[in-house]
Structure 1
């Protein structure tokens, strides 16, 4: 039997097929409950759609108000940027408030400043040869010693109109500062003195050297050390010398900056004048310098923002300019871009005005806002083109917002929820970033419904008057050979417009997409590839490690990166000193309490990362030998201690002791400090080391011990990331699930959407880990962003898949590609173009966001176009769709013929039985749909009540009119009483 015979047979069988749609009695209750749930969801959506429609009509009638008001609001709010507060201190940005490291830093500063509650600054000078050679040569050693003596004794700098001496005005206020790098001079004097080379009391070994009974830990001072086993382990070469200066800052940042700049200026002068200037490199480091270099990320990224704007401008103009100069929307597209810029200006001004600090991660917020916001412009303009051109502009804008408003609301809701979770992060940098981003997204949403809609209203008036899209003063005459109109129907609008031109790329991809799904092995192949993807993603996610390094916040050409590289290679693996403070000194005359102090130090020396007892510099050991030599009793501990530290040979110990300042108790020891050595291989080991320190300190809490290193705060961040990341991602995922559940009522579809969301996030994390990225605050923000972005891909595809219930798999895939696939590809391109300029920003922050967005777009398109359709077939078949006559008819009828398109349009108008006769036109490759001739009516699409059925042969090449007289079928909820009466004539397309 030929295709026409099958078609005619199906038409005669149609009444019987409708009767087959009755639900079995045992499923009646389930169906009625499903109907109630559907009705509730539809009522909510109907209310939302009516609200958007009324708003659109209001804007259409008064566009001037909605055009000017956003401009004034954005202009006023943008003034707030003058109050912006820069936050670029790593300790403040990446340490949770109230963390242990902040308290450790405060106690460390107070001790070094002799209790005057002034902060302590640390300045490092790293010196190495450019050829990596040995610095332990006489000329180099003398040069470095002269540099150290100049800084300590002769360096001067300008501060607040005065010429200050670092020695007299700053360093002399702290004993620790005056003794800076004294070990270096002792070592080089002994090393180059020929009379001491064979002295048994001088052992220049590493990491501990002995000079006349004085034990000296050289870790942190020398790096890249090589020893000579033939000479008893004597040091033979040094690749790096590390000078360290600890000084009081008196809470005056300008003083710190002036001092550090004076040192850098002196280093520049020395290297230009010295005979070996081409072979020595100097690298300075401090928290202040790190702040300055972190701030450079902002200066590097923002200049590339106009590139993103230009790229999006080119894309908008190229996509929105068609062959029709009246209906093209290039200016409206540019208005959408201006809308995003206004949102960025208003958001940054408002957030800065309320005191939220600006940090380097916030720099990428404008790029992200562009990527998220321009997609809404495409959605609104696409909805505008679906409206009837014969309607007045205000009416068209209302129908446009009725269709696009809920879609934009869903997108904004998912994006806001994903970043809203990060606003409550314990990491200040993450919290600030999310606050700026949420504000920008919300302002963009508000301006889309006001400013952009007002521009669209003016564009509608221009279009109604047949004005040119670019040259408004020109009137475009209608061509006599205008393409015949076709009828299209959407859930909210019914239009009679010329057929839209299809993009050539879209046509090619659509053809390939159809051929792929027509292939019998397509779905098994997709599931196989998807399984491999899951395995790879899971492996990558399991290998990711939490890590936070200072160089991740620096631009690629920052001079600090070289210093960090040298320190990580030469200093930290061989040993460095940590400061240990006993802030509640016990009664040292009591042997029990004295042994407790010694036990604490012993456990610290034998901890996992410790160098050992020889690296410890503790005044108690030489003092006990002193007491034994004099035969002093334990009760005389404090009396002899004062005599001990006043000896010239022991003067260096005074900086480690703090005595009671109350009258009559000046001889009592209240606090003291010591140093001991540790070595680590990477920053993750540093975090484990700090955690071990704190666990040990907790066991000796009565002593109030503190083990301090400059980078203790990194350990706090690494430890908190392990828990807060899981919490934030979990809460964000649940919020996304709730948003999806509001718009997807079918449980199996909802399950696969949530599974795909989890799958994409797993892929983003896993592939970023395989891309050699570690988990740090920047990556956490990127993952939160990816959760919001990935929902947009899945929810659109799932919605259209559920909505179009064609049994023919090929036709369903084509429909999905046209309605969801191609728009998702366009949106993905917009997102990539908005972030593309970050390629030129040589910083870790920009690189992470760019890689994340790239993976989100690729994985989003892979899941939405390939994976989701294949997953749906595992549980979701057309037979499982219950509800309307349309689903029943399409389920039963499509199994008989495949060449015909069966299209059902359902009209509901006041529940009255009606008979409608419609003149339909069928075009090859499209399905005929119902057209409500009363464009101004309040007819809405329903799944119940009055149904209008049309049938048309899809594959027919002729384009004749198809006159069909339809009689309306009215049925009750359970579909038991179906009354049908069919007449048809000349059914031939």
Structure 2
């Protein structure tokens, strides 16, 4: 950098050693240099890095090294660092552009972009009991993947009963086809259900048995060998008195009292028949095979034509795919939002350039590039995440809307500062002034936003963590591109004038300038008045009352129907499961993980005591609906022992042994219990683990499910010797709801603490930090509270939105507090920069409003405009973010431009003059550093300076 260009022409508006910035009002004219004066008599000034100038004579004096170091540290500030960065950008713009292009090359990773949601357990904390229970169940099944269930629901097209011959024949055909013939391909190999069903291949045997027996009785067919009493809910094999549970497959059943009809069955009508397909995922690749097979069943069911029944399919993989498909529909809405925001940015930048008399084709390029910055941040982030194999879910597709809104904020501030600079200086100096003004504030807001989302990424819920981590990376990328891409663009777009141009002095610009100046002056006087502060405080009490009330009343609730897209075909089967299936039959699986010797009378009594406790609970359907291998084995053992004359049979305390267990599990009717036991006959206690299934009903609300899950777990705690755990199909969702409020409070508290630390690091005035932190908390509280009045519940989606709102609220508070606590600013007078003090609250407010009010308003409006098109989707997840961002912008602008300035204006000036960093280096002896400090104070002001028109 050229040394002569690096020394800005600055006049000090006041003299003396007043380090608070309140210098005297007498202006010291600049001394004219006599070109005839001998060269050696001229003061030699060295341009120190970080933009600080020190006398070389003092720098050479060994006795002053310590004092100069302390004085230099006292002078060091973020503004000086960013002045150096700006001058570096202005000196080597091409190098920065090349580095931006290199960084942007990560966007090519978007070619490998693959969306993947984990709706089933992706929103459940890793530390939850349900996660442990699901993992235990997985170990019990000895499965290579998570337990999966494909549910096939069959209903009559005319809304009538499925209890009609033609309908039952089609049900039988459908189940047989899906079980035996439906084929898909996985890794270029054909896959059928028989390839991975294992012990579950005959899970739908009760339905087929009922249909065969029913048709035989209707036709008086004697070829059906087994006599079955077709009673609902439990049919029976008459010969062996073996129950056949129909309540797990037939729903919406009406029974008849007509004795003639009851000769065949007591069923009068059936609304829905459910066929369940499970898999034993014991081999590598079984998980992928079942997922591919489930999607094939879903595709086949949607394409099949029938005049009798509708076949509806739902499963975990289907839900994930449908949500991802809906997420991809957001692409055109992103385009609408981007176009709307681009037009808004261009029009506002055009107006600003016109006002500052800087309108040219270069300004149009600047407006365009201000929107390119967040786009490049988005593509680079998604590309990098794809390259490194990070999962990308639907929530992360909300990120582009946030970055387009939030990421352009830095560009607005930078453009606003750039337009107000002198256009006759060396461009490196101009860029240094631009980033000296905006660098600290955009760094503060970016860092707080990034920290907010990184805290969210640490939450023990994978789907929220993916969203927060990706958003944090994108925000950091947007900040980097603002420096290394947008900065050089501003350099090339700057006019190369050699003479000073006085702007806003003639015609309509002068009038507009005067009107705006008068409006700002009046606004500053009104806001700074004590009566205004009292009125605003009274209004804020009302705002806080409803915000706190709404926050307390917000419910932790998970409604899967809301999360599903409106137009997805799986809404109907999901509704049928929630409204018909689960209210009539809600299974609970209990897994006993320790070997329990049933030959001991005490052990057997303990096991049956646990049975009784579950069966006597509210909503339990009764003892006869429990699937207990032990009860069935006891009946089998006693029945078989009557005809067993083997005197060598083992005599036990409980009159029960394992001697007939092999025959029991191989019995044609009872072989279904093979999947209920984990047996090793080489060990003294062959049954190493076993499971039981209890049936419940009328569990409709999530509150009832939460209560029952907690009661189930409490029962098992009283049987520690069994090491038993539960497995509930909705347990993961239950724990999501239970953990939402504690997780939200924990995340919010940690986020606010980090906000305070970051603000303290950059603003350095304790009063300003306290007010900024309070404003952040107030905005976040208002957002959460008023979301509850907007009919939103606390769920994993709204949790992510709340974390986002905390980060966004910083943008509306940090800029205001940072600029208000400055003690002086630079103005351009007659082509020269003069440093003027900010003496009173009105001056500080006017300076703050001129610096941030317009770009803050631009940023807020552009954020809302960008995300507003998502309203057209009318899906729950996009609407949560639209409502949240709208509230954040409304409350943020109110706090940043009205409430916070009014509070700051009531703070005594001496409190705002405290600088923690500077005071740290003033603890030394005044005798040691006083002389050097005074010398440096006459050269460079000790606080950050901000240009003002």
Matched, 1:400 2:418: no
CA contact (8 A) 2:228 2:235 kept: no
Who is 1:317 aligned against?
346
Partner of 1:917: none
Over 3 Å counting, the alpha-carbon distance change for 1:591 and 1:379 in structure 2 is same
Report the CA distance shift for 1:745/1:560 in structure 2 as closer, same or farther (over 3 A). Answer: same
Structure 1 counterpart of 2:505: 484
> 1:490 is matched with which residue?
none
The answer to whether structure 1 residue 243 and structure 2 residue 270 are counterparts is no
Aligned length: 821
Structure 2 distance, partners of 1:393, 1:337, is: 23
Distance 1:40 1:527 in 2: 43
Q: Does 1:222 align with 2:250?
A: yes
- Partner residue, 2:807: 788
**Is the contact between residue 540 and residue 767 of structure 1 (CA under 8 Å) also seen in structure 2?**
yes
- Which residue is 1:951 aligned to? none
SS in 1 for 2:690: strand
- Residues in 1 aligned to 2:359 and 2:898: alpha-carbon distance in whole angstroms: 37
Distance apart, 1:388 and its partner CA: 2.2
Match of 1:940 in 2: 941
Q: Compute the displacement of 1:149 (Å).
A: 2.8
Show the counterpart of 1:293. Answer: 322
8 Å CA contact retained: 2:620, 2:696: yes
Distance 1:116 1:566 in 2: 29
Cα gap change, 1:300 to 1:692, in 2 (>3 Å): farther
Instruction: Write out aligned runs for 1:669-680 (5 A).
Output: 669-679=687-697, 680=699
Q: CA deviation at 1:676?
A: 1.4
> In the alignment, what sits opposite 2:82?
52
Deviation (angstroms), 1:787: 0.9
Matched-pair contact (CA < 8 Å) for 1:297–1:843: no
- The answer on whether the counterparts of 2:77 and 2:944 sit within 8 Å (CA) in structure 1 is no
Give the Å deviation of 1:70: 0.8
Structure 1 unmatched ranges of 5 or more: 1-20, 23-38, 467-477, 487-496, 885-907, 915-936, 945-989
| Helix, strand or coil at the partner of 2:163 | coil
CA contact (8 A) 2:373 2:482 kept: yes
1:55-454 aligned within 5 A: 55-75=85-105, 77-82=106-111, 86-91=115-120, 93-97=122-126, 100-109=129-138, 111-112=140-141, 115=142, 120-129=147-156, 132-158=159-185, 166-167=193-194, 169-171=195-197, 174-183=198-207, 185-186=209-210, 189=213, 204-205=231-232, 212=238, 214-215=242-243, 217-226=245-254, 236-249=268-281, 250=283, 251-264=285-298, 266-268=300-302, 270=304, 272=305, 274-276=306-308, 280-321=309-350, 322-323=353-354, 324=357, 326=359, 329-454=363-488
Q: Deviations over 1:330-373 (max 9, x none)?
A: 21122222222222233333333333222221112222222122
d(CA) in 2 for partners of 1:836, 1:720 = 31
Q: Is the 8 A contact 1:909 1:940 kept in 2?
A: no
Deviation at 1:211, TM superposition (A): 6.9
* Residue 702 (structure 1) shift: 2.9
Aligned-partner Cα distance in 1 for 2:98–2:191: 56
Q: Deviations over 1:660-682 (max 9, x none)?
A: 243x86x9333333321124223
How far 1:296 sits from its partner (Å)? 1.6
Q: Give the drift of 1:616.
A: 0.8
- Partner of 2:659, secondary structure, is helix
Structure 1 CA distance, aligned partners of 2:341 and 2:496?
24
Give the aligned partner of residue 696 of structure 1. Answer: 715
Shift of 1:246: 1.3
**Alignment partners' CA distance in 1, 2:673 and 2:942:** 88
Alignment of 1:855 with 2:887, yes or no, is yes
Partner of 2:565: 555
Alignment of 1:536-685 (within 5 A): 536-608=546-618, 610-629=620-639, 630=641, 634=652, 637-662=657-682, 668-679=686-697, 680-685=699-704
CA contact (8 A) 2:445 2:811 kept: yes
CA contact 1:411–1:792 (8 Å) conserved in 2: yes
Q: Aligned residue for 1:797? A: 816
**Do residues 865 (structure 1) and 897 (structure 2) align?**
yes
Partner of 1:765: 784
Q: Are residues 111 and 415 of structure 1, via their aligned partners in 2, closer, same or farther at CA, if it must alter by over 3 Å?
A: closer
Partners of 1:326 and 1:463 within 8 A in 2: no
Contact 2:172 2:211 (C-alpha < 8 Å) held by counterparts? no
1:962 aligned residue:
none
Deviations 1:288-330 (A, max 9, x none): 2122123224412234333333222212211122433546722
Question: Matched residues in 2 for 1:45 and 1:534: separation?
Answer: 41
Cα offsets for 1:58-78 (capped at 9, x unmatched): 221221111222112211x22
In the TM superposition, residue 849 of structure 1 has moved relative to its aligned partner by 1.7
Give matches, 1:442-521, under 5 Å.
Answer: 442-460=476-494, 462-464=495-497, 484=505, 501=512
Q: 1:516 to 1:449 in 2, by over 3 A?
A: same
CA, structure 1 residues 375+613, in 2 after alignment: closer, same or farther (shift >3 Å)? Answer: same
Distance 2:178 2:862 in 1: 55
> C-alpha displacement at 1:205, in angstroms?
4.8
Change (3 A) 1:731 1:106: closer
Q: 1:161 to 1:410 in 2, by over 3 A?
A: closer
Deviations 1:152-195 (A, max 9, x none): 3444445555555544x444xx2222232524642895699579
- Secondary structure in structure 2 of the residue aligned to 1:674: strand
Pair 644,170 (structure 1): closer, same or farther in 2 beyond 3 Å: closer
Note if contact 1:216-1:615 (Cα within 8 Å) is conserved in structure 2: no
Checking the alignment, whether the CA contact within 8 Å between 2:301 and 2:313 is kept in structure 1 is no
Distance 1:619 1:257, change over 3 A: closer
Q: Which moved more, 1:321-330 or 1:411-420?
A: 321-330
User: 2:750: which partner in 1?
Assistant: 731
- Residue by residue, what CA displacement relative to the aligned partner does 1:110-162 show, whole Å, maximum 9, x if unpaired? 655xx575765421112234665443344333322332233234444455555
CA-CA distance at 1:386 after TM superposition: 2.9
TM-score, length of structure 2 as denominator length: 0.76
Contact 1:180 1:246 in 2 (8 A): no
Aligned pairs (5 A) from 1:703-714: 703-714=722-733
Summarize the Cα distance change of 1:266–1:815 in structure 2 as closer, same or farther, 3 Å threshold.
closer
Consecutive unaligned residues in structure 2, runs of 5 or more:
1-21, 24-68, 221-226, 645-650, 824-836, 916-930
CA distance in 2: counterparts of 1:561 and 1:79, whole angstroms: 36
